[in-house]
Structure 1
């Protein structure tokens, strides 16, 4: 847990990538990223949850292959009690032959220590827009009016469209924020492949 990123997250004029820091509610701290693609992955991880820690650029991997020696710095190590993941982020259209060699080496190293490995190459249409919309309510909230229990009870009977769901509560304008909060917590569910709005169907968690 005392790990520090192998490279510094530097900012300068003229650079082609966009580094920054993303605060995850799951860990309660900020995590460095080197591109917007990496930032999106961190947001998705925060939505999925179920992990203990995320380490950016956790180590430098050195390896040999048929063409000689090589090295690679994986983007993230996600530590969890069930299964830890070593992750690289690279848009599908930007993966070169040398990248495939580095990813293969990272996959073998991960397997050797019992981690899973994946390369995140992109997302289905609308998924990121939906998660980004839900993320505005990821901070802790109080519910003095008991609106969340009303929302959960209404959907428990049968699925409802988002606009109809909030209208069934005592204070619909306030219930909207709590409904989004329940969706972020995955206590309610929607199809993230569809545009999110008042016409979005909302289901009990675990039924989509």
Structure 2
């Protein structure tokens, strides 16, 4: 039996600046705005009408177009050993909206294989949360451990546990992004975003 370990591709833990931003977001009663529901939205509840029925295909095309190693299937050679990085699944979560702006949220799961003709190292999974424009262009993304999540209203849920709230609009959120799973940030996509003071 093959065990898949889902993990982030980046740092082992949050930096001091990320911890401070996380505390600001969690500790403040940030201003929140309602995200209205619109007819003909890109994606809604499973089984509801979708203006674009080929959502998974368009999201996959956006991943390929990004040309980012983290988000594109490819093969690689490491010390004369061949590996593949396979797109295992794409899941459309729904839309987030603010004023006249809307963005599509989705997840993607990639599997980095064992070496060719070998069981070692064991396969490893890499999950991501994606934010795409209405034109299906990748706007931002972040690593997401265990990407089996759903979108309920403005909340991102893992099971019945909220791990993010896309209604947040306080200063820290507009600078750093939405806090996801108390571990990482999805860059804020809306036009009222603010410069990140920790950015180089």
Which protein has the larger Cα radius of gyration, Structure 1 or Structure 2? 1
TM-score (normalised: structure 1): 0.23
Tell which has more relative contact order, 1 or 2 (C-alpha 8 A, sep 6+): 2
Of Structure 1 and Structure 2, the greater helix share is in 1
TM-score (normalised: structure 2): 0.24
